[in-house]
Each structure stands twice: as structure tokens, then as C-alpha cells.
Amino acid sequence: MTVQSLARAVILAWGWRRTVLAFGAGAIGALAMPPFGVLPILAISFPILVWLLDGASAAGGGWRTILAAARTGWWFGFGYHLAGLWWVGSAFLVEADRFAWLLPAAVTLLPAGLALFTAFGAVVARLFWRPGGRRVLALAFGLTLAEFLRGTVLTGFPWNLYGYALTQYAWLAQGAAYVGVYGLTLVAIVVFASPCVLGDDAEETPRRVAIPIGAALALMCLALFGGWRVSTAQIASVPGVKLRIVQPDIPQDQRFRPEARDEILARYAALSDKAASPERSGIRDVTHVIWPESAFPFFLIWDREALAKIADLVPPGVTLITGAARPDEPLPGRREPRVFNSAYVIDHQGAITATYDKVHLVPFGEYLPFQDRLEDLGLEALTRQRGGFSAGDRRRTIAIPGAPPVGMLICYEAIFPGAVTSAERRPQWLLNVTNDAWFGFTPGPYQHLHQTAVRAIEEGLPVVRAANNGVSAVIDPLGRTVRSLPLGARDALDADLPAALPATVFARAGHVPLFVALFGLFLALIRRSRPRPPIA
């Protein structure tokens, strides 16, 4: 079967065949994401979407064409997000007796909701649809706009953006320092949708082979630039900073049990003071110890005995940074204290010297929309925190004794491009404390790690990651993993702290380059094509 006959078959597909094609094209596209990284699969997934949108005009024109495009986009997005996010259901099995009944809804409703953005992108693209290569630009414009909205509307969920397919390769990923992952999303759609023109008639798209060749050359230029950037950048280590990252691998169902308190503290102490190498025989040979998110099944600030044990563990000259829930004064008219998902900086005397409260909370995980009403109905967030967690007021850069100022990122705060540093003061490194034990041995922890690494490239900052059960890592400002612990390991990781690079274009300009590119695409799409002169 030739490409042209395949394209015609897809364009003319209708009914359930069209639905299956859209769903399947989206689902196989998810294979381009970590941990699989099958990048060429997008050169199949996106052209099928283009051909399906070509066929939307068969619905009868006008609003029928728009409705057909929306339906096609929704099924494509549903397949993509269902195949890429099925692992979210693992969180509902941690306490299966309470939450397992919600698993089918969670696994399907999240992709169904996210697919609405893909449907919107398909509609926008169809409004600018033109024959030939211009429809590739229309698709890139519509889907990139939709992906940006997906990452920002209703608190946003920019997971598995199409641009992450490119960032799994160090040379291709460096463009994120200039345009961010949303900009690379635009590039990925243009490049991998361009083979669709191979299915066009020669009269409809002259020089059709030139379009995918041009896209491949553009990708090659991106890779050459990235190779130059990686090979010429000099990444030093921060003098005098010796990190120890503890990955305790505490089962998720134990993390909520107060009776496991002593066992958990003992595990942290043992891993923090273990002999990891001849150069670092224990906690006295490091300067900073890092424990993961929500490290304790109790309020550390109220537990003097636990703070005393930490003081006994941490010697002078060593600083502990740990995640912990933080209680605060109740709101007016309330009895229960407000609770924040926080990170503490603790000195050798067990004194808390700095605190950061998580700003971007996880819907349904850390709070419920319409919290009071849903709790009255018997529903609760996965963390089972009555009243939900409260959100911090702003991003803050925190002073750390003996280390450069740090930007704290708790759990999935690290997935938001352009929203990981303080506007008041640029940090010199990012620290992501997280707990991926919710998701076990699934693609989720690997996707989370990868998205965190892309923040390093965008901001020009090293990222240190401490996870309960993986993947803990130290990542340099070029997004390369310097050292890491495997998923599920119970161990401690020693590493130096890479130095920051100067602020990148993306760190200074944010999404402005993306908006400029989208505006340029918009102008190109609304420009009328000049009629071709007749061939003599």
C-alpha cells in the first residue's frame, strides 16, 4: 500500500473506523514519552490525525465539519492521555479498601477531560485548514495553543506535552533553554506531522517531498545547535557542598501510620549516616542531607522527641532539608488547623531555620474542589487530610547555610514550565522533594523525573531530586543526570552540587518567544494564498 492510498483510506474512514483510527493514533503517540522514547512513532501518529481532519469536511461543511474535527481531536487526545496516564490509577490502590472503587473513574475521567483541550486544538486547526503544507502549520498552531491552555487552565496539568518527546535526547533538548518545552511542542508537531503531505496528490502539493525533508533538516539544525551547546558548556561544582540524598523506599501505606514513627525515623537515621564510600563514611563527611516529601506520619514541628533525635543525628556544620506536613493556626470559624505540604531547613540543634509551603497543590490528591461539600458526601482526598492542604502564598528562594540559595519544588510543582523560580530572587539551584511511591513501578516516576530535568535546561539551573522510592537524582543545568538511584532502591546518594549557568533566554523572557512564534503562525495562516499562474 502506498502512502497516498493509505492517506485516502484514512480520509474516507467514517463511523467506528474513524473513531478507532483517532484513538489508536493518539495511543501509539504516547510511546514517544518516557520511559519508552520511541520518537519516530509521532511521524505516524500526527499524519494520521492530519488525514482524519482532512476527512472532517465530508461531514457536510460548516458546523458539521467543526463538530467532526472536535470529535476526531477528542478521540485522539483520549487515546494519547489514556495510554500515557493509566498509571495514575495506582494511587487508588494504596488504600484499596477506601479508594479502589474510584479507580475506573480516575483512569478514564482524567484523560477524557484532558482530551477536551485536544478537541479544542483540532477545531482551531480546522478553522485555518488549507491544502498542502499549510495544514501542518494549522495543526501546530491549534495543538500548541491547546497544550499551553492545558498547562494553565484550572490550575493546569502540563504532563506529557508533545515537546517532551524531543527532550529525551540531550542534543535536541537544548532548545528548551530558549523557547521552553511549549516551544519544542510546536517544533515537534511541525516536524512529525510534515510526512502527511506524502499522501497528497502531486497537483495539490507540488514538491511535496521537500516539506518533510525541510522538517528533517530543521530537526538536524536543532540537534547540531544542542550538540554545540552541550560540548562547549563548562559545568563546575559548587565548592564546599557535599550532598547526601536519602531514598528510604517506605511503602506508601506505612507513610500514613503513626505507629510506624520510630521505624521510619530509624531508617532515615541509618541511611543518612551510612558509609557510602571511602571518602564519605557517614553523615560527618557531607554538608547537606536531604530527605523526601512528607517524610513523617506526624507533625514534626509538634514532636520534640523527633526533633531531638534529629539534633543527635545531625552534627555541627551539617544541614538537613526535609519535606514535612506543617500545621498552622486555623482559619476564622474553624477548629482544625490549616495544614501545609512543606519543606523544612533544620540545623544541627534541631532548630527549624527556614520553611517553604507548597504553592501548587494536586487536585483530588491534596485537596478537593468544593472541599466542604464533597467531604460532607463522604469523599476525601487521597492524602486523607481533613479539610485538604492549604496552599503557600508564593514561590520563595530560600537561604541554605553553606550552600547557594535554593528554589524549593515539592512533588509535581516541578512540572510547570516557567513557574519554578521566584520572581523576586533567582535561585542558584532547584530542589525537588517528592514521593512517587503512589505509582509504584510504572511509567509515572520516570515521566516525573524527565519533566523535572527539562526545568534544569529551561532555567539553566541544576536540579537535585530526593524521592521516597525513586528516582532520586542530581541533574546538571544541561539536563544531564550526573548521579541517580534506581526506582525502588533503598539507599543514599552522595554527590557534589553542579554550578548554575547564567540565566537562559527562557528564564528571562518566559513564554514570550512562544507567543511571538504563535502570532507569526497566525499571520501566515490568515494570509490568502496567491493563485498559481497557469502552466503553459
Cα–Cα distance between 399 and 412 in angstroms, integer? 22
DSSP helix/strand/coil, 29: helix
Is the N-terminal amide bond of 471 cis, ω within 30° of 0? yes
Q: Work out the number of other CB atoms within 10 angstroms of the CB of residue 526.
A: 8
Backbone angles phi, psi at 482, to 5 degrees: -80, -50
Q: Where are the alpha helices (DSSP H) in 30-62?
A: 42-54
β-partners of residue 3 are: none
Cα–Cα separations (whole angstroms), residue 240 to 282, 286, 309: 16, 9, 26
Peptide bond into 35 cis (omega under 30): yes
- Please tell me the distance from the alpha carbon of residue 497 to that of residue 480, in angstroms, as a whole number: 13
Q: In whole angstroms, what is the distance from residue 247 CA to residue 269 CA?
A: 12
> Which residues fall within 8 angstroms of residue 159, CB to CB, at 6 or more apart?
84, 85, 415, 447, 451
What angle, rounded to 10 degrees, do the helices at 63-85 and 16-29 form?
Answer: 40
What value does the CA radius of gyration of the chain take, rounded to a whole number of Å?
Answer: 25
Residues in contact with 62: Cβ distance below 8 Å, sequence separation at least 6, in sequence order: none
Supply the residues annotated as catalytic.
293, 358, 411
Question: Residues 157-176, buried b or exposed e (16+ Cβ, 10 A)?
Answer: bbbbbbbbbbbbebbbbbbb
CA 2 to chain centre: 38
Q: What is the DSSP string of 113-169?
A: HHHHHHHHHHHHHHHT--STTHHHHHHHHHHHHHHHHHTTGGG---TT-GGGGGGGS
What are 466's strand-pairing partners?
Answer: 433
Strand segments (E) across 15-94: none
C-alpha 393/C-alpha 397 separation (Å) is 13
Please tell me the distance from the alpha carbon of residue 20 to that of residue 408, in angstroms, as a whole number. 43
Type of residue numbered 338: R
CA-to-CA distance for 308 and 93, rounded, in angstroms? Answer: 35
The amino acid occupying position 531 is P
Nearest to 526 by CA among 22, 129, 72, 26: 129
CA distances from 303 to 297, 313, 400 (A): 11, 16, 23
